[in-house]
A and B are shown apart, each in its own frame.
Chain A
Amino acid sequence: MAVSSRRLQKELAEIQKQGTPVGITLLSADDFQTWLFSVEVLGETVYAGEVFALMFRFDGQYPIQPPAVQFLVDEKYTSPVHPHVYSNGHICASILGNEWSPVLSVVAVCVTIQSMLASCKKKERPPDNDRYVRHAPDNPKKTQFVYHDDTGIS
């Protein structure tokens, strides 16, 4: 069995056994290619009452290379308005790029993104949103983000 599948199977078993952290729910994990989670920010937050969907896409390089992670934007879900999240759902977070570690897991990524939202005080898009969205590749992993490590994610 490929390393990525074995690893995802193990992560899935763990989720099914131990559940997910508060505010995070597994929506679907039908294969080892695409998983979907819902993410809510609890407590005092600018996102009160909003539910977002986080989509993970894996290739054979997982977990050595990070998964492709973005917010789902469709009839049901929108992209959270956040200085590190583009309106097409792409996320600029170093943990999904140069600070990825193969020991991080899908749940760990969910938690990091959730806390990134929780620490947001003011809802606004990245300053280059329009330009980025116009030219963005379908897969956010193809984007070379310049990480703004001053806020949120660490």
Chain B
Amino acid sequence: MSSDYEFSDNDDFEYNDDEDMLDDDEGSASDMEMDNINDDFKIDKGPKIKVYEVEHDSLPQDAVVYLMRQDIEHISGIFGVDSEVASLLLRHMNWNKERLIEKYMDNVNAVSVAAGIAPPERSPEPSSSHGGPRRSSRLGFTKSSKSKSAEPSPPASEPFVCPICFDDTQQKTLSLTCGHLYCTACWSTYVSSKVRTEGESWITCMAENCTLVAPDSFVRTALADDTQTWARFQELLVRHFVSCMPSLKYCPYPSCTNTVSCPGAASKSALTSIVPTVHCGASDTHVFCFGCAIDTDHRPVICAVAKMWLQKCRDDSETANWIKSNTKECSKCQSTIEKNGGCNHMTCKKCKYEFCWVCMGPWSEHGTAWYSCNRYDEKASVDARDAQSRSRASLERYLQYYNRWANHEQSARLSAELYAKTEQKMEEMQLASALSWIEVQFMRKAVDESVRCRGTLKWTYSMAYYLEKGNEKELFEDNQRDLERAVEELSELIESPIDPEVIMSLRQKVTDKTVYVQKRNEIMLEDTARGFLDGRWKWNVDVEGFEKD
């Protein structure tokens, strides 16, 4: 005996308004604490959203489920289908409601088949007992304790034997509307394996070539009390939904289930004028770029330029040092030639041009004067040297930016060590002076600030490398130089030895310098961000989304 089985609107999807309250109130307990501790560091914070910040919301999983629910209800209302059908249709169309409505109006059957709701016209055997293709408006599935009509029924006396496990003690069975009947234990293993091993939420029937897809209620039944896998399944549905929405991003931190909504960064074109660094809301450390996966915070430079720079570093830096000392450019075809022996008579592998390693002039003019080159004055070699020096200059220019970039990158990587050292210093200070634990926090604050600013500085070098020469670039590099100098001075102060005599004056100096560095960083970030908004920055290469001159 079987009955079409369906779940009423799942309570699990019930959206709880209370849980969704986004933490909007400013000055949370921890913020206030910090303010008390750091009275010394009060600087004008200005308006809440700064020009280098982007407006965004943090959504816990429930809030995203609520958004999904709304779309499902909408489609369910328009098409007159039950919510599980609507859900599969939407999932199939990557949650694009407009396209779904258009396609559905055009050909209900085709969409239903593709969405795993109805079997194709010529349904694969065993043919369903309900006969023929169906246009389903509600999904059901069969759950029985005895084998059921879908397959040629064995005589009532014979027990059901599951064609997957051949375990005749398994008498509980399930099937989707196609009628392909298997034991509940096999379904359970299968669904769980799809969800856990494959991370798949689109779970088709186990029968060969059957394209029907398990609706949520079926998955839930198959998983029975495996609530962990059921939760994982729901997370997969949410992740899929989020990945279909340009204005949403799932927090990339491991085991975090928060989503960030940032409509301002939803389009590619927006990313040419803003750097959407966002917080997921679950933890202070969950910071990421809404526009790319390059770095958690690559302000002030936009995603496309940061990406270009990293690619260049990957392509160049490994060989750059080696190239510098061991290779030259063929003055005829410009391909790189490496010198691996002592002889100065070189032959370019590519164009077969023969030349002298020392003067880069053609070898033919050297006659028999092997190993001795005296042709520096020749025009050919002068030209060659120019080509050579041009390529040298370009490499040296890159290395100059790269070395600074790498220096700040390395400092940031060593920040954990710096924190540990500072921690120790703060203890020494308390011993050497009358300062309390709270009063030595200025050191920690100083380290925080230096790490933050090195992050900014690092990316300013990638930006400066691609900025076109001119006034704007000069102003940019002025700001960069001021910030760099300030950070280096602060770092020196942080690392200076503790002399009990001068602790109080050191404290004043560090505190002042920290405030100054913070200001310089604000200026760097703000001015660069404003420059992007104003379209002030011009590049010396083609940058995605920017017009070519």
The reply to whether A64 and B189 contact each other, CB–CB distance below 8 Å, is yes
Whether A102 sits at the interface, judged by CB under 8 Å, is yes
The reply to whether B208 and A103 contact each other, CB–CB distance below 8 Å, is yes
Count of chain A to chain B residue pairs whose CB atoms are closer than 8 Å in the complex: 38
State which residues 3-23 of A face B: CB under 8 Å: 3, 6-7, 10
Give Cα A102–Cα B192 distance, bound, in whole angstroms: 14
Whether A65 sits at the interface, judged by CB under 8 Å, is yes
B164's nearest neighbour on chain A, judged by CB, is: A102
Give Cα A104–Cα B163 distance, bound, in whole angstroms: 10
- Chain A residues contacting B197 (CB-CB under 8 Å) are 61, 65
Whether B401 sits at the interface, judged by CB under 8 Å, is no
The reply to whether A103 and B207 contact each other, CB–CB distance below 8 Å, is yes
A1's nearest neighbour on chain B, judged by CB, is: B167
Whether A45 sits at the interface, judged by CB under 8 Å, is no
The reply to whether A64 and B186 contact each other, CB–CB distance below 8 Å, is yes
The reply to whether A3 and B189 contact each other, CB–CB distance below 8 Å, is yes
Whether B294 sits at the interface, judged by CB under 8 Å, is no
- Chain B residues contacting A61 (CB-CB under 8 Å) are 193, 197
Q: Mask for A53-65, Cβ within 8 A of B = 1, else 0?
A: 0000000010111
The reply to whether B165 and A7 contact each other, CB–CB distance below 8 Å, is yes
State which residues 58-109 of A face B: CB under 8 Å: 61, 63-65, 101-104
Give Cα A7–Cα B163 distance, bound, in whole angstroms: 9
For the complex, count residues of A whose C-beta is within 8 A of B.
12
The distance from the CB of A112 to the nearest CB of chain B, in whole angstroms, is 10
The distance from the CB of B390 to the nearest CB of chain A, in whole angstroms, is 36
- Chain B residues contacting A101 (CB-CB under 8 Å) are 206-210
The reply to whether A65 and B206 contact each other, CB–CB distance below 8 Å, is no
- Chain B residues contacting A7 (CB-CB under 8 Å) are 164-166
State which residues 182-200 of B face A: CB under 8 Å: 182, 185-186, 189-190, 193, 197
Give Cα A101–Cα B182 distance, bound, in whole angstroms: 12
- Chain A residues contacting B207 (CB-CB under 8 Å) are 101, 103
Task: Pick the contact of B193: A6, A64, A103, A104 (CB < 8 A).
Answer: A64
- Chain A residues contacting B209 (CB-CB under 8 Å) are 101
Task: Pick the contact of A3: B165, B206, B208, B210 (CB < 8 A).
Answer: B165
Task: Pick the contact of A6: B163, B165, B189 (CB < 8 A).
Answer: B165
A61-B193, A64-B193 given; A103·B165 CB < 8 A: no
State which residues 86-133 of B face A: CB under 8 Å: none
- Chain A residues contacting B186 (CB-CB under 8 Å) are 3, 64, 102
Give Cα A136–Cα B164 distance, bound, in whole angstroms: 31
The reply to whether B164 and A103 contact each other, CB–CB distance below 8 Å, is yes
Which of A63, A101, A104 neighbours the largest number of chain B CB atoms within 10 Å of its CB? A101
Where chain A touches its partner, the secondary structure class is: loop
The reply to whether A6 and B164 contact each other, CB–CB distance below 8 Å, is no
State which residues 154-212 of B face A: CB under 8 Å: 163-167, 182, 185-186, 189-190, 193, 197, 206-210
The reply to whether B163 and A103 contact each other, CB–CB distance below 8 Å, is yes
The distance from the CB of A60 to the nearest CB of chain B, in whole angstroms, is 10
Give Cα A102–Cα B210 distance, bound, in whole angstroms: 12
Give Cα A6–Cα B170 distance, bound, in whole angstroms: 13
- Chain A residues contacting B190 (CB-CB under 8 Å) are 64, 102
A8's nearest neighbour on chain B, judged by CB, is: B166
- Chain B residues contacting A65 (CB-CB under 8 Å) are 193, 197
- Chain A residues contacting B206 (CB-CB under 8 Å) are 101-103
The reply to whether B208 and A6 contact each other, CB–CB distance below 8 Å, is no
The reply to whether B193 and A3 contact each other, CB–CB distance below 8 Å, is no
- Chain A residues contacting B166 (CB-CB under 8 Å) are 6-7, 10
B192's nearest neighbour on chain A, judged by CB, is: A64
- Chain A residues contacting B189 (CB-CB under 8 Å) are 3, 64
- Chain B residues contacting A103 (CB-CB under 8 Å) are 163-164, 206-208
A11's nearest neighbour on chain B, judged by CB, is: B166
A104's nearest neighbour on chain B, judged by CB, is: B208
Give Cα A3–Cα B208 distance, bound, in whole angstroms: 19
Give Cα A101–Cα B197 distance, bound, in whole angstroms: 16
Which of A10, A103, A104 neighbours the largest number of chain B CB atoms within 10 Å of its CB? A103
Task: Pick the contact of B167: A6, A63, A64, A104 (CB < 8 A).
Answer: A6
- Chain B residues contacting A102 (CB-CB under 8 Å) are 164, 182, 186, 190, 206
Give Cα A117–Cα B185 distance, bound, in whole angstroms: 36
B188's nearest neighbour on chain A, judged by CB, is: A64
Give Cα A6–Cα B186 distance, bound, in whole angstroms: 13
Q: Mask for A122-149, Cβ within 8 A of B = 1, else 0?
A: 0000000000000000000000000000
The distance from the CB of B360 to the nearest CB of chain A, in whole angstroms, is 38
Give Cα A3–Cα B166 distance, bound, in whole angstroms: 8
The distance from the CB of B128 to the nearest CB of chain A, in whole angstroms, is 16
Give Cα A103–Cα B175 distance, bound, in whole angstroms: 14
Give Cα A56–Cα B193 distance, bound, in whole angstroms: 20
- Chain B residues contacting A6 (CB-CB under 8 Å) are 165-167
Give Cα A62–Cα B165 distance, bound, in whole angstroms: 10
The distance from the CB of B15 to the nearest CB of chain A, in whole angstroms, is 34
A3's nearest neighbour on chain B, judged by CB, is: B165
- Chain B residues contacting A63 (CB-CB under 8 Å) are 164
- Chain A residues contacting B208 (CB-CB under 8 Å) are 101, 103-104
**9 new A-B pairs (CB below 8 Å) besides A3-B167, A63-B164, A102-B186?**
A6-B166, A6-B167, A61-B197, A64-B189, A65-B197, A101-B207, A101-B208, A103-B164, A103-B206
A-B contact list, 24 entries, CB within 8 Å? A3-B165, A3-B167, A3-B185, A3-B186, A3-B189, A7-B164, A7-B165, A7-B166, A61-B193, A61-B197, A63-B164, A64-B164, A64-B190, A64-B193, A65-B193, A101-B206, A101-B207, A101-B208, A101-B210, A102-B164, A102-B182, A102-B186, A102-B206, A103-B206
- 7 A-B pairs closest in CB distance: A101-B208, A10-B166, A102-B164, A3-B165, A102-B206, A64-B193, A64-B190
